Amino acid sequence: MRRKLVVGNWKMYGRLASNRVLLEGILTGVRELHGADYAVCVPYPYLAQAQSLLQGSNVAWGAQNVNQHEEGAFTGAVAPGMLTDFGCSYVIIGHSERRGLFHESNEIVDAKFIATLKAGMKPVFCVGETLAERESGITEQVVATQLKSVLSYAGVQALSNAVIAYEPVWAIGTGRTATPDQAQAVHAYIRGCVAQHDSQIAQSLCILYGGSVKANNAAELFAMPDIDGGLIGGASLVADDFLAICRAGVRT
């Protein structure tokens, strides 16, 4: 039986004062929830704040990106060991905003995936198709290519310490959510692809859905058999909204 997981992606939002209000609000509500896992992925400068407010609680924290190198002359980059210094458990890898806006290829994303695992953190590995790709009927092909790339680079065993997030690009930050059936179909497809390599790893693999998950649609998405929780952008910035989604994770 897989546990549900709800991960907030704050993107490039937040300030010290508002973060404190948000994290304290989340902590108050999440304290009484059991049976699921929760995390927030915050901007780098706020990792120390997340660590100091969340340690000892049932909310883990992590980052939204990492450099694939252990150290070196990479101005502006952040190494995996720097994230573990601040207690990070998760790193979002291959988010479509990084693939698109920052031109991260499958090769770069795969290297970041391995570097995250090597440092002892869990990659939240994002896959998903654009609207044009969905409309051309190649959703499965796109997702399979992204998956195959990481599988051939890291091996299926690596997925036993990772999370996959299916995030259709057309649903991210648009208010347009995949229907539970649309999302379930891709989640089942992903699990099937992994099962071709290892059926046990596929069965225990946590596959999140991300893309305009809100308080009013989380429960029906999370009720689908292959949807194990959510990667939440906009709605993770408001404590009550994030908590409502966390509660949906517990109910199903």
Residue ranges binding ligand PEP (CB under 6 A):
9, 11, 95, 167, 172-173, 210-213, 231-235
34 counts as catalytic: no
Task: Indicate which residue of 97, 104, 167, 187 is catalytic.
Answer: 167
Q: Which is nearer to ligand PEP, 11 or 79 (CB)?
A: 11
69 counts as catalytic: no
The CB-of-194 to ligand PEP minimum distance in angstroms stands at 21
Q: Which is nearer to ligand PEP, 38 or 79 (CB)?
A: 38
Task: Indicate which residue of 95, 97, 104, 133 is catalytic.
Answer: 95
The CB-of-22 to ligand PEP minimum distance in angstroms stands at 15
The CB-of-210 to ligand PEP minimum distance in angstroms stands at 4
The CB-of-71 to ligand PEP minimum distance in angstroms stands at 28
Q: Which is nearer to ligand PEP, 5 or 79 (CB)?
A: 5
Q: Which is nearer to ligand PEP, 42 or 213 (CB)?
A: 213
Q: Give the distance from CA 107 to its chain's centroid.
A: 19
Q: What is the largest CA-CA distance in the chain?
A: 48
Q: Which amino acid is at 145?
A: T
Q: Which residue is nearest to ligand PEP (CB)?
A: 233
| Residues in Cβ contact with 120 at an 8 Å cutoff, skipping those fewer than 6 apart | 84
8 Å CB contact between 115 and 153: no
Rounded to an integer, what distance in angstroms lies between the CA atom of residue 127 and that of residue 169?
A: 9
Residues designated as active site: 95, 167
